[in-house]
Chain A
């Protein structure tokens, strides 16, 4: 494996996203949504203005869990299939590069763009709210930012896998939307349905561990469990055993969600 080849490929992807202002646009979306949630999130309760950082993070988690997977999937779904469709994939593969280098270069370039826009977007919010945050609040917010990046990288990894498997770009985009629906909307409902249908017999710890099969849920648990104030507000915490709340474990699972789809993509990319 030659790192310079990976770097060249990654640099092109990253520069493309900088140049067409993708990074800027996504960062702005994050900033604006965060500020709106921070100041108007409590409007339903009849109050407007900044509340606690814990409540803000809890609201942001609900938003980010929809937004970031979608953005990551849209960013990565045509990474390989797009090259295939325009006829440039053969050209790239006839160069002195391996398929693994191409895959990693694409992924890392897109990952850098997504990471930058996530950190810049939410980072700007932290700067703007700086005065109103305690050190503990900042620490939690920082954790939220890191887990958001990991969530994005996990779904980007899934997107790149789709882009390898799909034979056409349109099919890849359909699969990306379907994947988003499944993980963000259907998965939890399905688990809940099973839990209720079995009258809670099939439940308890098993149910909680099944949540690890969904990176969006891992992200949710990761953030909710770090906040004492919020944990009690959340229905989830009643079914999630404390052993699952370990940040090391959850972080590790997230990393697996980044690595495994890439490995499968490498295997399928022939």
Chain B
């Protein structure tokens, strides 16, 4: 897809026709993308889909073979890269920080290189729940604590754009919840977050928009709901019914949607196109409390992911 529109200077991240090849292999193939300020944006794809390469190019770690990448109106490479990078926070996947430094020393080291004020370091450690361990050497940290320290490092210098690569690796459920709460707080302050994760259920409820990559291209782009609307994936109703009415409900649903319900323990399961959702509810209404329970399943991000990337 050839890009025609100019880069969007208002966007936090703007990519136009970004391509990267290694020899004859197109790792990334003509990507156009605008990520708005204050957006939490997910980037997902199989290993080798090109998302890591795209990530590295957005960070300026690798040069694009062609195309342009602009962060907050400034190019990430070449002249002026220092200013652009001072406004980036980055947490690489599986990073191993320096064992011999304490948590606080680690942050001091990165703060100096980023020209961030040193006195913000203790506060950041507190923010990620490491206030109790700031003087302990990192070698004594658990995997989760190391990941939090990495996150604190990414927050140094009040970045405008955060790039987080599998940021919840090694975190327990409470820590994951805290992590996303922190992202929401940052978001209200106008911070943009670009995040990758293999844990799709985790991203599903937490990103504003996402891109599904495969074969170096963006195959789908939008909010989870928008992606659902784009696909033909069915809704699934699981109905718990009084024993006497199963037959009648089945007939009514078939009449309303044209789809045949299949029997499950204690009731029926119906898969139907999204647009029949209200028709199903209307068909069920006459049965009143004979419908004992109803569960509605939307296609999950995982379903969408396999639908778009295969």
Spell out A's residues near B (CB within 8 Å): 2, 4-5, 8-9, 12, 16, 19-20, 86-88, 90-97
Contacts and interface: CB of A to CB of B under 8 A. Distances in A.
B113 A90 contact: no
Given A87-B95, A88-B95, A90-B61, A96 B82 contact: yes
Interface residues of B, number: 27
Contacts of B113: 5, 8-9, 92, 95-97
Contact of A93 (B61, B93, B96): B61
A96 B114 contact: yes
Nearest to B55: A90
A96 B83 CA distance: 7
A87 B150 CA distance: 12
Main secondary structure of the interface of B (DSSP, over half): mixed
Contacts, number: 58
A87 B110 contact: no
Contacts of A2: 82
A86 B95 contact: yes
Interface string B111-136: 01111000000000000000000000
B101 to A, nearest CB: 8
A46 B56 CA distance: 67
B100 A91 contact: no
A19 B137 CA distance: 13
Interface of B: 56, 59-61, 81-83, 85-86, 88, 90, 92-98, 100, 109-110, 112-115, 153, 163
A78 to B, nearest CB: 13
A94 B60 contact: yes
B266 to A, nearest CB: 51
Nearest to A19: B100
Contacts of B56: 90
Of listed A5, A91, A94, A97, residue having the most chain B CB within 10 A: A94
A12 B110 CA distance: 11
A96 B115 contact: yes
A10 to B, nearest CB: 12
A82 to B, nearest CB: 10
A91 B92 contact: yes
Given A88-B95, A93-B61, A8 B114 contact: no
A91 B156 CA distance: 13
Of listed A8, A92, A93, A96, residue having the most chain B CB within 10 A: A96
B114 A87 contact: no
Given A94-B60, A95-B110, A96-B81, A86 B96 contact: yes
Nearest to B59: A94
Contacts of A9: 113
Nearest to B150: A91
A41 B154 CA distance: 57
A9 B112 CA distance: 9
Contacts of B163: 94
Nearest to A87: B95
Contacts of B110: 91, 95
24 contacts: A4-B112, A8-B109, A8-B113, A9-B113, A12-B98, A16-B98, A19-B100, A86-B96, A87-B92, A87-B94, A88-B95, A88-B96, A88-B97, A88-B98, A90-B90, A90-B92, A90-B95, A91-B90, A91-B110, A93-B61, A94-B61, A94-B163, A95-B110, A96-B115
Nearest to B82: A96
A9 B86 CA distance: 17
A131 B210 CA distance: 77
Contacts of B81: 96
Contacts of A16: 98, 100
B86 A96 contact: yes
A1 to B, nearest CB: 11
Contacts of B83: 96
B85 A94 contact: yes
B58 to A, nearest CB: 10
B94 to A, nearest CB: 5
A8 B113 CA distance: 7
Contacts of A5: 113
B171 to A, nearest CB: 17
Contacts of B95: 86-88, 90-91
